[in-house]
Chain A
Amino acid sequence: MEFFDILLSENFWAATLRIATPLIFGTLGALICERAGVLNLGIEGIFTVGAMAGWMAVWMGSGLWGGVLVAMLVGALFGALHAFLTVPLGLSQHVSGLGVTMLATSGAYFFYRTALPDVSSPPRITPFQPLDIPVLSELPFVGPALFQQTAMTYLAIALVIVVGWVLARTPLGLAIRAVGDNPDAVDSQGLSVYALRSGAVIVGSAIMAMGGAFLTLSAFNAFFFGMAGGRGWVCIALTVFASWQPRKALLGALLFGAFDAYQVRLQTEVGAFLPAQFFLMLPYILSIVALVVAARGADYPRALLQPWFKGQR
């Protein structure tokens, strides 16, 4: 059988990175929010609206990077809504996040349908093209597998390094981590808990939206309904799996990507014996298993889900 040969094909590894890219953005965004103490279940909707807004901007002529920027701004806007409801108002992070997901998803669909009422098949744009890294992309096997991705994939990996550095090595990162662990201590240092938490949610949401934009501007070239397909929820599971560390988030996203790429290829090998849906289920089941394994003894940010009000201890 070809179970092992799959792992030796260049395009399996290329697909792994491609599938992992939106998850890297999403998990980074989610972990920034959670490190500051705010669970952001708006992620699924922010993926959808980011995918739609980025695509729509490009379709209207903004250019690809303009599209990414528009997606980030729209993501930040929904992030700001979630931040307003959960930080100064201290409302249920679960309900607010689900509300933001519903609002962003239905808003994206409504806007798309209103702007393009008469299209039967989704219009297409010219997406990001693979960008060969000089020298490295010409290496045998490794080159086609890892160094012929689109710009957004390289950007995602760069962002892992940047976010990791900011969180671990800068005063801002220290403040963000502290506000998710012990907001009272941050307040007594004279820093604004509200500003830090809201800022983290807004920036995290903008990064999530880049994951959505990747779907329409790089992975595909059009916007489809139901496009996010649970990727946002997978990212929330990956955040726990990664114990809120960017490097491990990258690892988790790559593992998930590899698994997904593998099941698609396995399906073509043994698809005759098992229905397609069985294979499509596997990534979701894997996410649950990973969550169960990681959640035991997980080191949750201590103030996660806990609202904080100034002057109330």
Chain B
Amino acid sequence: MIRLEPRSQSSRWLSLMAPVLAALFAMLLAAIPLLAAGQNPFIAYGLIVKGAFGNLFALTETLTRATPLILTGLAAAVAFRAKLWNIGLEGQLYLGAVGAVVVGTGAIDAPPAVLIPLVLIAGAAAGALAMIGPAWLKTRFQTDEVVTTLLLNFIILLLVQMLLEGMLKDPMALGWPQSEPIVDEALLPAVISPRYRLHMGLYLAMAASVLVFFIMRYTTFGFALRAVGENPAAARHAGISITGATLGAAALSGALAGLAGVSEVAGLKGYLTADMSPGFGYAGIVVAMLAGLSPLGVVLAAVFVAAVFVGADFMSRALSVSNYLADLMVALALLCVLIGGFLRRFKVSWISASNTAKGANT
């Protein structure tokens, strides 16, 4: 029979390799739908790698796609560390984008050095507000935040559609529901060269990752947040305010997701539409899990998930396979990394039935 032994401590090597192996295994599993669609998986994999990393343009596209994923991944990692199930990243991202549009479309006339920080703050604040609500309901009324944040995604998306047909509508957009363009002074500048879409949002996201790493590891707030996530009873005993830590985690998490919205609207698109995010909020959960909730790992995991999306897009155009394959691969990666976490904690061994009987006698 199969026997599971808890590992006393999982080795560092294993902790680092488990997500990589899980991601590779997920790619292997994706061969099943590829074969079902009548494609040669090896050719498809080759095209995915080429489409994601094949040349400078492909690489910049992958990093452009990774930018919001780093931020939503960080948002999920911070919340999950505090055992706060923030599944509302998609809504917080959109509300952050709304914040950027409100401040950045001409309401304030200022040079970039002033306006860009203002736009970032507005978006972060809007995202934080969107998460503080459900967190407050959790601490005050024990309302399950999974359901409230999930439902808020739908509510916020409808709110954005409403704003884009009303208050935020661009009168020059010929009836399309989109916001006025972000003014030049508020746009995040391009990096490398304006010929590529890659923008300063990437550096912002990487800086956020380092900042979150330091907050989590070296500040009392970070300590309180982790303590509440790992053992709330002990944390309370140590005099940590659970409500405070939970609301703080919610604010930080929502702010990071809000920044993802700012980065997309002020760095990439230039104006807001209701279909701006192809599920960056949900993919952020996968990024955080692949990274083992490590803030620095989030950057690598985001690049991986972005590469799957960008590469699969390229592959699907070349082979005319549905690009939902990318979503399928990302979902498989999440489930594989979950199982990987299990194998990291337990040693699976096969022992014969006679051994079990002997063991039972002693």
Contacts and interface: CB of A to CB of B under 8 A. Distances in A.
> Is this pair of chains taken from one and the same complex?
yes
A277 B335 contact: no
B296 interface: no
Contacts of B338: 85, 91-92, 95-96, 99
The 9 A-B pairs of least Cβ separation, nearest first, read A106-B327, A102-B331, A113-B322, A277-B162, A103-B331, A110-B324, A277-B158, A109-B324, A99-B334
B325 interface: yes
Interface stretch (B137-145, B204-212, B229-237): B137-145
Given A41-B146, A106-B331, A114-B321, A233 B285 contact: no
Given A291-B147, A295-B143, A103 B332 contact: yes
B151 A288 contact: yes
B296 to A, nearest CB: 21
A284 B151 contact: yes
Chain B interface size range: 35 or more
A296 B334 contact: no
A140 interface: no
B147 A292 contact: no
A309 B3 CA distance: 12
B328 A107 contact: yes
A291 B166 contact: no
Interface string A77-112: 000010001000111101110111011011101110
A75 to B, nearest CB: 17
Contacts of A100: 335
Interface in A245-298: 275, 277-278, 280-281, 284-285, 287-288, 291-292, 295-296, 298
Nearest to A294: B143
Nearest to A45: B331
B36 interface: yes
Contact of B141 (A81, A94, A296): A296
A230 interface: yes
B158 A89 contact: no
29 contacts: A98-B87, A99-B331, A99-B335, A102-B327, A103-B328, A103-B331, A106-B331, A109-B327, A110-B33, A110-B325, A110-B327, A111-B33, A114-B33, A114-B36, A117-B320, A117-B322, A230-B151, A237-B151, A240-B144, A275-B165, A278-B158, A278-B162, A284-B155, A288-B143, A291-B144, A292-B137, A295-B141, A295-B142, A295-B143
A277 B161 contact: yes
Chain A interface size range: 35 or more
B342 interface: yes
B114 to A, nearest CB: 34
B147 A233 contact: yes
Interface in B304-334: 320-322, 324-325, 327-328, 330-332, 334
B110 interface: no
B87 to A, nearest CB: 7
A236 interface: yes
B79 to A, nearest CB: 11
Interface in B159-189: 159, 161-162, 165-166
Contacts of B151: 230, 233-234, 237, 284, 287-288
Contacts of A105: 327, 331
Interface string B259-290: 00000000000000000000000100110010
Interface in B19-65: 33, 36-37
A81 B320 CA distance: 30
Nearest to B153: A230
B233 to A, nearest CB: 15
Give the residue among B137, B143, B152 with the most A Cβ atoms within 10 A.
Answer: B143
Given A280-B158, A295-B141, A295-B143, 19 more contacts: A85-B339, A89-B342, A94-B146, A102-B334, A105-B331, A110-B324, A113-B324, A114-B33, A114-B36, A114-B322, A230-B153, A233-B150, A275-B162, A277-B161, A288-B147, A291-B143, A295-B144, A298-B142, A309-B4
